[in-house]
Amino acid sequence: MAVNRVPVLKRCRSLGMDPIYLGINKQSKRQLRRANRKMSEYGLQLREKQKAKFIYGVLERPFRAYFDKARRMDGMTGDNLMILLESRLDNIMFRMGFARTRREARQIVGHKHVLVNGKQVNIPSYIVKPGSTIEIKEKHKSSPRYAGILEKTGGFAIPGWLEVDAENLKGVMKELPTREAIDVPVNEMLIVELYSK
């Protein structure tokens, strides 16, 4: 699989976003120095797409597939795209506070630590449906790794569309998130415009 080796803070700086959206509580002291060039309309659209891909850890082909699926769904394409990305299993693990970052959530899922409705799922891009129960396998619950994660993520705000039992490392996706409930700094309408060309 392709891996982006660019340092996270450097990438955040180039995309003009705060690393806190990735679960990273660090700030870069450097400033991005660009000549006083006005960014073109295409440049702005491309940057929004790159931002969404970077935040959710999705490569170009799967991202395009999400967009095509969002276009076929009822409602606004941009909102549907964000809801699909937010419904990914690795993102839900991160939102529930069972991982410090989405990358760590992806690793936990890949290492077969996660059950969805009692069945083992090791696909980070698995789309979780409303009413599904997500939990860490019983044999991994006592691992010091999760105690450390919960200590770090304990202060994180859990979205209203999720219900979490942190003590038992278990949670339920009550409903699909609305666009208003997704606090990601992405203007999805620019992505729709980019792909509609």
For the beta carbon of residue 59, count every other beta carbon within 10 angstroms: 12
This prediction has a pTM of: 0.86
pLDDT of residue 152: 85
CB 56 within 8 A of CB 67: no
pLDDT of residue 31: 61
Number of domains composing the chain? 2
pLDDT of residue 93: 94
pLDDT of residue 127: 95
Residues of the chain with pLDDT under 50: none
Amino acid at 174: K
How far CA 137 is from CA of 93, 102, 114, in Å, comes to 13, 19, 6
Residue 77 and residue 103 in one domain: no
pLDDT of residue 68: 96
Partnered with residue 135 across adjacent β-strands are 115, 170
How far CA 54 is from CA of 113, 115, 138, 165, in Å, comes to 24, 26, 32, 29
pLDDT of residue 84: 95
Q: What is the 3-state secondary structure (H, E, C) of 86-129?
A: HCEHHHHHHHHCCCCCHHHHHHHHHCCCEEECCEECCCCCCECC
Residue 116 and residue 153 in one domain: yes
Reference 172, options 184, 157, 160, 154; nearest CA is: 160
Reference 51, options 72, 73, 26, 82; nearest CA is: 82
pLDDT of residue 2: 63
Residue 140 and residue 166 in one domain: yes
How far CA 165 is from CA of 53, 86, 102, 135, 182, in Å, comes to 29, 20, 19, 9, 21
Amino acid at 90: D
Residue 191 and residue 166 in one domain: no
What domain range is 22 assigned to?
A: 8-27+38-85+185-195
Residue 112 and residue 133 in one domain: yes
pLDDT of residue 27: 61
* 32 lies in some domain: no
pLDDT of residue 70: 95
